[in-house]
Amino acid sequence: MKEIIYYPGCTLKNTAKNFEDSAIACSEALDFKLHELKDWYCCGTVYSLTSDDLMHHIATVRNLLRVQEEGQARFTTLCSMCYNTIKRSSKRINENENDRETLNSFMDEEENNYEGKVDIIHYLQILRDEIGFDIIKEKVKKPLKNLKLAPYYGCLLLRPNEVAIDDPDSPSILEDLIAAMGAEVAYYPFKNECCGAYETVAEVDLVVERAHNIIGNAKRNNADAILVSCPLCAFNLDNRQKEVLEKYPDFEGIPVLYFTQALALALGLDPDVCRFDLNYQPVEDLVRGIKQ
């Protein structure tokens, strides 16, 4: 069985435990083992965009150093925000010797220097590039054939160009996964439009508008559920449906699943690994639909 170091990030141990548990179960069913990084730190969640702000890359560098100390040159993560932040920071630090030296000299309590050779890949890239959607299709025991699923990429898997896991304007990795799981793809134009992200803290109304647009459009294209890969997108599209309904009384809700939850169902795993109790919109009807 293949092994890869896995970086969970803060939210996967908290509101998105359903994402972590289902992803670990799926990976074992697909013959690769996620081995959690020891002593990991929060990545900082957003990549620092100002040129002189080297200090905010330090959390990422400490994580890269932990991976290096385990004798590995790469690791994986599930959360889109962690992926983007770590990928961009590691690119800057790996390619820039001066930055690396500055950070290494700052971390003088560390036994080793970071050598600039560690890279991160997203879990979806493992599914596509190392397992392959044809193999996944063979391992599907309960095809999701009654379901029409709307992929939602959000921002950080696709932008900016240098860290994109797929074509930023016209991605297909989630569509290919949906097809491999035996479900139908709901095509709609908002799959890579921002959900409002952290504006959900202080600008709830803005996020409600975004969620109303995105979900409404997915529904008009006959989606039964939306698939996401980011715990913040999941919160804004799933939990914020409460506020959407308050503002738009005729709004009809829709379940929002992590792609790993849908994959776990398709692989015929015990639905308990999906932890659907942590999803806001009820998923029971959807699961019942698959069994028939």
Partner 1 sequence: MAFKLSKESVRSDFIKKIEELSGEEISACYHCGKCSAGCPSAMAMDLLPNQIIRAIQLGDIETLKTSNTPWICASCFTCYVRCPRGIDLCSIMEAVRQMTLRTNKDHIDIKKYTGELANLPPIAVVSALRKMSS
Contacting positions for partner 1 (CB under 8 A): 9-11, 14-16, 42, 44-46, 49-52, 56, 79, 81, 155, 159-161, 168-169, 193-194, 196-203, 205-206, 209-210, 231-232, 234-235, 239
Instruction: Output phi, psi for 121, to 5 deg.
Output: -125, 155
Closest residue by Cα to residue 39 from 65, 19, 21, 15: 65
Q: In what order do the strands lie in the sheet with 225-228?
A: 184-185, 148-151, 225-228, 256-258
Is the separation of the CB atoms in 89 and 46 below 8 Å?
no
CB of 154 to partner 1, least distance (A): 8
- Answer whether the bond into residue 168 is a cis peptide, omega within 30°: no
If the CB atoms of residues 42 and 135 are measured against partner 1, the closer one turns out to be 42
Taking Cα atoms as reference points, which of 284, 249, 291 lies closest to residue 268?
Answer: 291
Nearer to partner 1, 120 or 136 (CB): 120
The tokens for 197 are 């992200």
Among 22, 67, 12, CA closest to 45: 12
Of the pair 106, 198, the CB lying nearest partner 1 is at 198
| Minimum distance, C-beta of residue 265 to partner 1, in the bound complex (Å) | 23
User: How far apart are CB 14 and partner 1 at their closest, in Å?
Assistant: 5
Q: How far is the CB of 226 from partner 1 (least distance, A)?
A: 16
Pick between residue 54 and residue 269 the one whose CB is nearest to partner 1: 54
209 neighbors 195 (Cβ within 8 angstroms): no
What's the min distance (Å) between Cβ of 204 and partner 1? 9
Q: Where would I find the H helices in 221-258?
A: 231-234, 241-247
Helix axes 58-69, 97-106, angle to 10 degrees: 90
Name the residue nearer to partner 1 (CB basis): 32 or 188: 188
In 3D space, the residue among 154, 222, 216, 218 whose CA is nearest the CA of residue 188 turns out to be 218
Residue placing its CB nearer to partner 1 in the complex, 1 or 201: 201
Taking the complex as a whole, the smallest distance from the CB of residue 49 to partner 1 amounts, in Å, to 4
In the complex, minimum distance from the CB of residue 239 to partner 1, in angstroms, rounded to a whole number: 8
DSSP letter string, 48-76: --STT--GGGHHHHHHHHHHHHTT-SEEE
Nearer to partner 1, 242 or 288 (CB): 242
- Output 210 or 275, the one with its CB closest to partner 1: 210
Minimum Å distance from CB 165 to partner 1?
A: 14
